[in-house]
Amino acid sequence: MYEQHFGLREAPFLLTPDTGYFYAWRAHQEALNVLRVALAAGEGFIKITGEVGTGKTLLCRKLLASTGAEYVTAWLPNSLLDPEALREALAEELGVAAPRELGQHRQLALIYRRLIEIAESGARVVVCLDEAQAMPDQTLEALRLLSNLETERRKLMTVILFGQPELDQRLAREELRQLRSRIGFAYRLQALDLDGVRNYVAHRLHVAGSPHAATLFRPGALRCLHRASRGIARLVNILAHKALLAAFGEGAREVHTRHMLRAVADTEDATPLPRFGLTRLAAVLGGIVLLITASLPAATGLA
């Protein structure tokens, strides 16, 4: 809609987790480094948590896209699975048919055989589970039992749990202590700070082809964006997209504070901002001038 107006090849703030737009901000790069180190060490369980919209799914896809031929990857985006469905989905990802009707023993036997084949080929299996905080307790326990599939020398697969902070609360419960004790590496994603938001926006604009990526959003608009989004990447995308629409509707070539304020007012999850507009600002400045002017005669008399 506004791409041609701003010199863009494509819309830069879509919500789909496109790895081509991955921004290696400090927290996300650290999380990616933790994942790579843990995978190299052959850890059984790794946990990555973060608030809604902080980029967990994009991080997961970035990891999967960057793994080499030495890894066989399985991605399970649906966490609302019972134990039989979990084993069936994992087997399917590994190229094995293990329908739930076979029962637990037969499913595990088929999965174990496939894991051994992969290990003998010199590869490692990485299983990524998204939205793990919603996984039923029985399924989490089945996942722990799957991690028992190992040889005398190594784990046959590494499981990465991606979830919201509620995952930490669930794993803190006594009945899940065995799974909790197997988590070798963990990382908590943090929201973007002001510099992070500024660079994140510029990065996405640059990838989308903007010739003015660093200046298209004015400083005031970026400050509003950071405050309203709380540094949550998904909200940054939503608000930046709406602000571009507002600027386009005016025919403006840059995104100003007024455009961002309109975007914030139109977004339910955004933190409301005080509408400290130009009229109120002028009134405050005018009052200061009047006070200074009123004090001048008295000061002259003292002289």
60-77 pLDDT, tens per residue?
A: 999 988 888 889 999 998
Write b or e for each residue in 6-31: b if 16 or more Cβ atoms lie within 10 A of its Cβ, otherwise e.
Answer: bebeeebbeeebeeebbbebebbeeb
pLDDT of residue 275: 62
Domain residue spans in the chain? Answer: 19-188, 212-278
At residue 150, the pLDDT reads 73
- Asked if 19-188 and 212-278 have one fold, the answer is no
For the chain, which residues score pLDDT lower than 50? 276-294, 298-303
Whether the model pTM is above 0.85:
no
Q: What is the pLDDT of residue 69?
A: 85
Measured at the CA of 204, the angle between CA 203 and CA 207, to 5 degrees, comes to 85
Whole-angstrom distance, CA of residue 243 vs CA of residue 215? 14
- Of 90, 98, 67, give the one whose Cα is nearest residue 156: 90
- C-alpha–C-alpha distance, residues 195 and 189, integer Å: 16
Q: What is the pLDDT of residue 54?
A: 92
Cα→Cα distances 144→62, 149, 197, 214, Å:
25, 10, 38, 47
pLDDT at 295: 52
Confidence at residue 152, expressed as pLDDT on a 0 to 100 scale: 62
CATH of domain 19-188: 3.40.50.300
Q: Which residue has the tokens 């197997």?
A: 182
Q: Rounded to an integer, what distance in angstroms lies between the CA atom of residue 171 and that of residue 168?
A: 5
Q: Which two tokens stand for residue 100?
A: 């739930």
Fold adopted by 212-278: Helicase, Ruva Protein; domain 3 (1.10.8)
Among residues 128, 101, 123, the alpha carbon closest in space to that of 46 is found at: 128
Give the pLDDT confidence score for residue 303 in this predicted structure: 36
Q: What is the pLDDT of residue 298?
A: 44
Could you tell me where the DSSP H helices lie in 147-176?
Answer: 166-171
Give the pLDDT score at 147. 81
Would you give the distance in Å from CA 248 to the centre of its chain?
28
Please tell me the distance from the alpha carbon of residue 125 to that of residue 122, in angstroms, as a whole number.
10
Confidence (pLDDT) at 79? 86
**145, burial (CB in 10 Å: exposed 0-12, middle 13-18, buried 19+):** middle
What single letter denotes the amino acid at residue 104? Q
